[in-house]
Structure 1
Amino acid sequence: MGRKRKTIVTHLEMLAEPRLPPCPRPHGKFALMRAEKPPIHFYRYLYDTVGRDYFWVNRKRLSDEALARIIHDPEVMICVLYCDGSPAGYFELDFRSMPQVELSFLGLMPEHIGSGIGSFMLREAILTAWSRKPGRLIVQTCTLDHRRALPLYQRMGFTPCGQEEVELEEPD
């Protein structure tokens, strides 16, 4: 039995395509690329490194086969931001329940936190989601995530639509 942590999860939604403010682009050489059918070990590296300080545990429980069924689904889009040749962060959009789209994950590598590229990545994720004309875009964040996550989502046009207390447990 692993460590347990209680958290408040805030569910947010966006019901219409927003008019997004321009965001500063990352410094140096950068590329935002879709990772089509990424190797499981690469996805786990992204997930673990980005989520380590925020108690991201849900995908750690999944077997490689179960994880592959999700991330290799053609209706799941994983985009990795590279800065100067190395991964700086990623986002994951789930289109499997259209007309609802879920921004399942968005996060930065620890060395890029505070650099301003979180706003850039969120803007790109929102634009990518709305390019498919969904009826609703959803995301969730919790009190274990970075303290600026919820305000950023709200600045970019998401509105809270629910809250719940949950207990998360690290897998053994």
Structure 2
Amino acid sequence: MVSRVKRFFLEIKDFSKTVDLNLPENFKIILDDKNNFHLNKFFYKQIGVDHYWRDRLLWSDSEWVKYVTNKNLETHVLKKGEELVGYYEQEYHTVSNEVELINLGVLREFRGLKLGSILVNHAIASASRKNPERMWVHTCSLDHKHALQNYKSKGFETFKEEEIDFVA
């Protein structure tokens, strides 16, 4: 079955706002050390199943290793104690001096706690330390119902919209 999906491309250029993370008690966000591609693969599959993330499902282990060990890629992991909660991946593009927020999500059992908002705030703060021209992300109508508004509430502005065919 083919359906139409709306895709939104958003950017933020003003990093001057101070971001308060307001992490709940026992929660922490850590920068992954790139030693285990299985972590990225786990989050991609577990979070993505609800939002039709499929592009990487066919990747071989060597493709995952190459992706995760990219020197410009960062994976930030949200944990409650030692329990995995969510993550985001961002890549610094040196030539264009911009940061791309590639994937961001929270595991199903932790949704509804505003943790996605905390991850977006953390991603913006992390990106701002690189002093980029902009940070950008794309989201679509298949992503979490609050994703688009979450980005906009943090200062992201739409710079492109499109509709694409999606085969379920």
Q: Specify if TM > 0.5.
A: yes
Q: Give the residue type in structure 2 aligned to 1:62.
A: W
> In the superposition, relative to structure 1, how do residues 142 and 70 fare at CA in structure 2: closer, same or farther (>3 Å)?
same
Partner of 1:35: 32
Q: Is the 8 A contact 2:79 2:86 kept in 1?
A: yes
Name the CA distance, whole Å, in 2 between partners of 1:81 and 1:4: 35
Q: Give the residue type in structure 2 aligned to 1:165.
A: E
Q: Is the 8 A contact 1:14 1:159 kept in 2?
A: yes
Shift of 1:4: 6.0
Q: Give the residue type in structure 2 aligned to 1:69.
A: K
Name the CA distance, whole Å, in 1 between partners of 2:98 and 2:3: 29
| Aligned partner (choices 69, 72, 95) of residue 92 of structure 2 | 95
Give the length in aligned residue pairs: 167
Report the secondary structure of 1:61's partner residue: coil
Shift of 1:139: 0.4
Partner of 2:72: 75
> In the superposition, relative to structure 1, how do residues 41 and 167 fare at CA in structure 2: closer, same or farther (>3 Å)?
farther
Which runs of no fewer than 5 residues in structure 2 stay unpaired? Answer: none
Which runs of no fewer than 5 residues in structure 1 stay unpaired? Answer: none
Give me the TM-score of the superposition, normalised by structure 1.
0.88
Shift of 1:71: 1.3
Give me the TM-score of the superposition, normalised by structure 2.
0.90
Name the CA distance, whole Å, in 1 between partners of 2:41 and 2:140: 21
Shift of 1:117: 1.4
- Aligned residues: percent identity? 27
Name the CA distance, whole Å, in 1 between partners of 2:99 and 2:18: 18
Partner of 1:104: 102
Q: Give the residue type in structure 2 aligned to 1:152.
A: N
Higher mean alpha-carbon deviation, 95-104 vs 70-79, is at 95-104
Partner of 2:49: 52
- Measured on the aligned residues, the alpha-carbon RMSD in Å equals 1.9
